[in-house]
Amino acid sequence: MDFRNEHGSSLTIVLIFSVFALITTSTYLISQWTIARPGLLAPSSFQALLNARSGIWKAMELMNAPPVDTLAHINTLNANFNDSLFGKQSKNLNDSVALPPDDTTDVSLFSTDSFGTCKALFTYMPCFKSITSNGFFRSQSKTVSATLGGILHDSPDTVCFLGNKLPPEGGGIIDGKVAMLQDSNSLPPPSAGKAVPVVIPEMRITDLVKAVSYFKAKFSSTNDSLFQNTVLTIQDNDKLSSIKDIVNGPLLLDGSHHDLFWKEKRRVMIMGDLQITGTVTVENIEFLVSGEVKLFDDCVFKNVSIFCSKTLTITDKSVFSGNAVSLTQISINKRARIDNKSVLVAYTESKPAQLLQPAQGQQIPQQSQAGQQIKLLCSVFLTQDVRCDGTIIAYGDPSGIKTDRNVIVRGSLWSSSMICNEGAIYGFIRCKELISATELDARQKVPPAPASGKNFMTGSVRRLETIADYPYPFFMGKPSIIRWEDGM
Amino acid sequence: MACDMKHFPTQTGMTILESLIAILILGITTTAITSLIVTGDMIAGRRTTVYAATTLAKSEIERLRAYEKALVLPKDTIYDEIVNGIEYEVKRTWVPNDTISMNSSVLHREYSISVGRKINQSVSVNFRTLQGYYGEPTQ
């Protein structure tokens, strides 16, 4: 046996075992680090989320802050004068600077900068305001969206808010209290021992006009630079992605041959009419339409926002949920359904009398004939077995609401003038006067019949326990965040 | 006998130098392995602590948000919580902030939330948030 071959063999074994042990231990360390990393990043991620949430509150404060009079604050003798000319591009908002829409803004959050930053974007939806806030902390970022609306009604007991004290005639059912409309500003302060009268907050018309001006400005800026194209017809799901953010003409979604399903979170501006026919499902889209909007044939709109300059028609068993503003008229008929606590607003400006030409689904007043000159007093029509779960608001001239028999509304009808109610309402109605269909026809003629001065209703209004859960537009009631979407 | 002596010398076993090098390598390796294991365990321990502290902070933030709905301004608070047998201290304080303007219908306050181990305060997490209120909250 030759022992010389064993020289230094133990060193080799030590080296091999050492390397093996080091590799094993390093693997253990790496695996521990990999497992621990998400947990160790949790505080950064959570602080980024808190920054995003804080940005929502800060942006809301900035939105409500009065604008600064810049001229009054210019001081050419100040050493910092003209600094912004060469400074950073993004604006840093600290105090009392109104937040402009569609403009991402750096928001200073806390008393110290070490907890990260935030960028906020505010935009109008037709009935609501939306704030999207991006919070940043170290390498983490989080996005939070908030929808701002209003809360209007606290108690379900009062079902009728009327402009005068006269009890309604006509045999209608009022299952609840009737209150007179009162201006909340003119009320005396509540004193001890006296009950506070029920007050329904009125519309903040300035806010509504601001939102309408914002959308009109969108149309006019697009109109200047574009030529109208022919109708863009989409009959295939593959072609839905080809619809651009601005459509230079009417858009027709035709689901009569193939079912169409369009789910996307985006804003589409249509410089013309929007018509939906056939089996079409649209989800999460915001439509700005310079013409009319017509929903036909079992189409389904889920969580959709619509701003249209002309008439909004929802008919033929179509289903709508979301929010919508029409600057002319809203016509819901033929077994159409409004779902999911939706909000629909008709805001109209004064129009002269016109020759009677009934629109799709709109009834000719009983005592009127085609060709006769009339001045419409209603801007919202709910007819022919409509089911509505939501809030219908009519403001301007005309601003009446007309509901037919076999119409059921859960929620509320809010009119700045009159309501002709023949249907069943669960919730409340608010108007200056309740009138009958006969009187409505007579007063729409030219020259109009004089107002009777009475309240008249053949339909019913009953209390709804969940009425406080119904959201209202941001320009009515107590401003509130009605929806949070955290941590995207 | 002389012949046997001739074959006996240093042909088997390790030299002193070889032994020293082997011991040195073994020592270095053992030290490295030990420190790696300790570091791995520290990472795991820190993760557990940070995760638990963040979870407690999240609960406290949700409590703060509940005050907003009730229109109540919460007072500063400090309390202890036990998670997996470890005692943590949760501290929430209002941070007065001069830069917040009050000329708006939306009032908000800045809060600091700090969560750490009750015994070993070296491991703690700190958060900062704004909580908004509509209208006039009560103290």
Q: What is the pLDDT of residue B20?
A: 85
Cross-chain residue pair B47–A39, CB shorter than 8 Å: yes
Interior angle at CA B57, CA B52 and CA B59, nearest 5: 95
Identify the closest residue of chain A to B13 by CA–CA distance: A7
Model confidence band, residue A82 (pLDDT cutoffs 50, 70, 90): low
Q: Looking at the predicted structure, is the pLDDT value of residue A459 above 90?
A: yes
CA distance A368 to A446: 11
CA distance A220 to A215: 9
CA distance B72 to B136: 9
Q: What is the pLDDT of residue A201?
A: 67
Q: What is the pLDDT of residue A224?
A: 60
3-state helix, strand and coil shares in percent for chain A, rounded to the nearest 5: 20, 35, 40
Q: Looking at the predicted structure, is the pLDDT value of residue A73 above 80?
A: no
Q: Which two tokens stand for residue B86?
A: 């470890």
- A438 CA: distance to closest CA in chain B (Å): 45
Cβ neighbours of residue A20 under 8 Å, at least 6 residues apart? none
CA distance A282 to A234: 13
CA distance A331 to A293: 10
Cross-chain residue pair B18–A11, CB shorter than 8 Å: yes
Cross-chain residue pair A46–B46, CB shorter than 8 Å: no
Q: Looking at the predicted structure, is the pLDDT value of residue A168 above 90?
A: no
Per DSSP, what are the bridge partners of residue A472? A150
Cross-chain residue pair B135–A58, CB shorter than 8 Å: no
Q: Looking at the predicted structure, is the pLDDT value of residue A96 above 60?
A: no
pLDDT in tens, A272-314: 999 999 999 999 999 999 999 999 988 999 999 999 999 999 9
CA distance A134 to A143: 4
3-state helix, strand and coil shares in percent for chain B, rounded to the nearest 5: 45, 30, 25
3-state secondary structure of A118: strand
Which positions in chain B touch A36 (Cβ < 8 Å)?
Answer: 43-44, 46-47
Which positions in chain B touch A15 (Cβ < 8 Å)?
Answer: 25
Query: CB under 8 Å, gap of 24 or more: what pairs does A259-267 form?
Result: A260/A234, A260/A235, A260/A236, A261/A237, A262/A237
CA distance A204 to A334: 33
Burial of residue A15 (CB within 10 Å: 0-12, 13-18, 19+) is: middle
3-state secondary structure of A214: helix
pLDDT in tens, A17-51: 888 888 988 898 899 889 888 888 999 999 999 99
C-alpha closest to that of B53 among A487, A141, A39: A39
Cross-chain residue pair A60–B44, CB shorter than 8 Å: no
* DSSP assignments along A425-466, one per residue: EEEEEE-SEE--HHHHHHHHBSSPPPP----B-SSEEE--TT
Q: Looking at the predicted structure, is the pLDDT value of residue A196 above 50?
A: no
Q: Looking at the predicted structure, is the pLDDT value of residue A193 above 50?
A: no
Cross-chain residue pair A6–B25, CB shorter than 8 Å: no
Q: How many CA atoms lie within 13 A of A2 on its CB side?
A: 2
- A89 CA: distance to closest CA in chain B (Å): 22
Which positions in chain A touch B129 (Cβ < 8 Å)?
Answer: 50, 53-54
Q: What is the pLDDT of residue B58?
A: 94
Cβ neighbours of residue B68 under 8 Å, at least 6 residues apart? B131, B132, B133, B137
Cross-chain residue pair A46–B57, CB shorter than 8 Å: yes
Cβ neighbours of residue A238 under 8 Å, at least 6 residues apart? none
Which positions in chain A touch B108 (Cβ < 8 Å)?
Answer: 54, 57-58, 61
C-alpha closest to that of A166 among A177, A178, A182: A178
Q: What is the pLDDT of residue A362?
A: 52
Shortest CB distance from B103 goes to which of A15, A29, A96? A96
Domain boundaries, chain B: 16-134
Q: Quick one: average pLDDT of A139-167?
A: 87
A138 φ, ψ to 5°? Answer: 50, -125
Cβ neighbours of residue A125 under 8 Å, at least 6 residues apart? A147, A286, A305, A323
Model confidence band, residue A192 (pLDDT cutoffs 50, 70, 90): very low
Interior angle at CA A98, CA A92 and CA A100, nearest 5: 85
Model confidence band, residue B10 (pLDDT cutoffs 50, 70, 90): low
Length of chain A measured in residues:
488
Q: Looking at the predicted structure, is the pLDDT value of residue A195 above 70?
A: no
Q: What is the pLDDT of residue A181?
A: 82
Q: Which two tokens stand for residue A77?
A: 């003798």
**CA distances, A254 to each of A70, A236, A248, A294, A338 (Å):** 52, 8, 18, 12, 21
Identify the closest residue of chain B to A482 by CA–CA distance: B69
For the whole model, what pTM was predicted? Answer: 0.79
CA distance A58 to A410: 35
ipTM for the complex shown: 0.83
Contact A416, A399 (CB under 8 A): yes
Quote the radius of gyration of chain A (alpha carbons, Å).
Answer: 30
* DSSP 8-class letter at B27: H
3-state secondary structure of A245: coil
Q: What is the pLDDT of residue A63?
A: 80
Q: Looking at the predicted structure, is the pLDDT value of residue A77 above 60?
A: no
Q: How many beta carbons lie within 10 A of that of residue A176, not counting itself?
A: 18
- B33 CA: distance to closest CA in chain A (Å): 6
Identify the closest residue of chain A to B11 by CA–CA distance: A4
Model confidence band, residue A488 (pLDDT cutoffs 50, 70, 90): low
pLDDT in tens, A398-454: 899 999 999 999 999 999 999 999 999 999 999 999 999 989 988 888 778 788 788
CA distance A39 to A51: 19
Interior angle at CA A388, CA A382 and CA A391, nearest 5: 90
pLDDT in tens, A342-400: 999 999 976 655 655 554 545 555 445 556 677 888 999 999 999 999 999 999 988 99
Share of residues in chain A with pLDDT > 70 (%): 81
